[in-house]
A = this chain, B = another copy of it.
């Protein structure tokens, strides 16, 4: 099995690649080749039991998706995107990468034709939903995104479903919760603080909380995100039916509950490193975001989280990123 990962240098992409290299298989299929692509060159994996080609550049340029598809990958993980804050600030860039790039990729697959029909896993987002919504959003609630990023992700979902229905590919769209705790440096996502208020204090640093503690949101660990991707890449898609886009399971928690979990797992002193500095731009964006979901379909289809509580989310970060230790 040949696997192509677009967005392979991103946080989730790197973890997915590490997991696939370690396992040597996706579901029951042995991996025989991987192709990794991102705007900056992804790291060449060490000790892979199969050839790994590493490519870099802008994928949303005529001819590039065709080259990526020329090797006829059996599974395509499409994780490449301009994140929410940047897509809001740079209208043209967000539409060019998130809409045009996705469509160019799908068209490159379509235009191969014949019997070529790869599994395509598209990472969508809960930003496809916009307020007002019910306390827990069900699987049939409508998409009225309040950001250009959410608009672009919704359009990607629609294209994925139509291209799948027409037999060009075998698509699965997964709406990832906000990933928490994101390791590494902050990115331009407006949701960055949800991780920052935990990650930075655990590293002995101050963190800025730009919203109030009663902001409720929907979270999953990086470990869960990789699990969702692997399941979407290997599951029996006949069970999904034509509605190919699924809200992934997660943990609903307020910022206050996040901080309480941090206190339980790491102590009061760590939590005291959080500084309150309200930011109207972030407050405005987050006000339109979902708080909780009732993702019956994805649970029935076998998607599961690696964590049972927000305390688990913090412990997973300490285990996977900090070698089991934090700065008390």
Contact = CB atoms under 8 A, between A and B. Distances in A.
A159 B145 CA distance: 10
Contacts of A141: 140, 142
Interface string A201-245: 000000000000000000000000000000000000000001100
B154 A242 contact: no
A250 to B, nearest CB: 19
Contacts of A161: 144-145, 151
A143 interface: yes
Nearest to A155: B155
Given A91-B166, A142-B141, A158 B148 contact: no
User: What is the interface residue range for chain A against chain B?
Assistant: 20 to 34
Contact of A159 (B140, B151, B166): B151
A13 interface: no
19 contacts: A91-B166, A130-B242, A140-B141, A140-B142, A141-B142, A142-B142, A142-B143, A144-B161, A144-B242, A144-B243, A145-B158, A145-B161, A146-B242, A148-B162, A148-B166, A151-B158, A151-B161, A155-B158, A158-B158
